[in-house]
Amino acid sequence: MISEKLKKAMRDKYIANGCWSTETFGKALGRLADTYGDKTALKDGDLTISYREWDTLVNKCANYFEEKGLVQGDKAVVQLPNSVTLFIVSFAMFRMGVVPVFALPAHREREISTFIHQTRAKLYILPKTHLGFSYGEMGKNCISDTDCQLLFEDEIRESLNGEYNATEYPENNVSAYDTAVLLVSGGTTAIPKLIPRSHADYLYDAKTFADVVGMNKTTIFLAAIPAAHNFTFANPGVVGTALSGGCTVLSRNGGADEILDLIMEEKVTVTSMVPSLLNVCAEMAQWEEEEDLESLSTILVGGAVLLPDVLKTAETNLHCKVRQVFGTAEGLNTITPVDMPSEQVAGCQGVPISEYDEILIVDEEGKEVGRNEYGEMIIRGPYTIMNYYENEEADKEAFRADGFYRTGDKAFMDEDGCIHVCGRIREQINKSGEKIIPAELESVIKEYEGICDVSVIGIPDANTGYKICACVVPEGQEPDVLELREFMLDKGVAVYKLPDHVMNLPKIPLTAVGKPDKNELLKMFQERQKMAYV
Q: Please identify, using beta-carbon distances, which residue of 123 and 304 lies nearer to ligand AMP.
A: 304
AA letter at 74: D
Quick check: bond before 81 cis, omega within 30?
Answer: no
In the complex, the smallest distance separating the C-beta of residue 350 from ligand AMP, rounded to whole angstroms, is 9
For 79-153, list the strands marked E by DSSP.
99-102, 123-126, 129-130, 133-134, 149-152
| Smaller CB separation from ligand AMP, 64 or 404 | 404
- φ, ψ at 504 (rounded to 5°): -85, 135
Q: How far is the CB of 242 from ligand AMP (least distance, A)?
A: 21
DSSP label at residue 399:
B
Angle among Cα 368, 371, 374 to the nearest 5 degrees reads 70
Nearer to ligand AMP, 127 or 186 (CB): 186
Give whole-number Cα distances, 282 to 223, 248, 323, 432, in Å: 17, 21, 15, 15
Between residues 44 and 434, which has the closer beta carbon with respect to ligand AMP? 434
Of residues 92 and 304, the one with the C-beta less far from ligand AMP: 304
- The smaller minimum CB distance to ligand AMP, of residues 152 and 374, is found at 374
Least spacing, CB of residue 187 vs ligand AMP, in Å: 8
Whole-angstrom distance, CA of residue 482 vs CA of residue 501: 9
Cα radius of gyration rounded to whole Å, the chain: 23
d(CA 392, CA 2): 11
Which CB, 119 or 430, lies closer to ligand AMP? 430
Q: Give the nearest distance from C-beta 351 to ligand AMP in angstroms.
A: 13
Q: CB-based contacts of 82: which residues, under 8 Å, 6+ apart?
A: 44, 223, 226, 227, 250, 251, 252, 254
**Considering beta carbons, is residue 71 or 422 the nearer one to ligand AMP?**
422
How many secondary structure helices (H) and strands (E) does the chain include? Answer: 18, 26
Q: What is the C-alpha to C-alpha distance for residues 174 and 157, in angstroms, rounded to an integer? A: 26
Binding site for ligand AMP (CB under 6 A): 185-186, 230, 302-305, 324, 326-329, 349, 407, 409, 421, 424, 430, 435
SS3 content of the chain, % helix, strand, coil (to 5): 35, 25, 40
CA 309, CA 311: separation in Å to the nearest integer? 5
Shortest distance, CB of residue 219 to ligand AMP, whole angstroms?
Answer: 22
Report the amino acid identity of residue 323: R
C-beta separation of 272 from 238 below 8 A: no
Q: Nearest distance from residue 195's CB to ligand AMP, in Å?
A: 8
Nearer residue to ligand AMP within complex by CB, 30 or 302: 302
Shortest separation between residue 499's beta carbon and ligand AMP, angstroms: 20
Q: Are strands 194-198 and 220-223 parallel, antiparallel or unpaired?
A: unpaired
- Residue type at 240 in one-letter notation: G
DSSP 368: B
CB of 235 to ligand AMP, least distance (A): 8
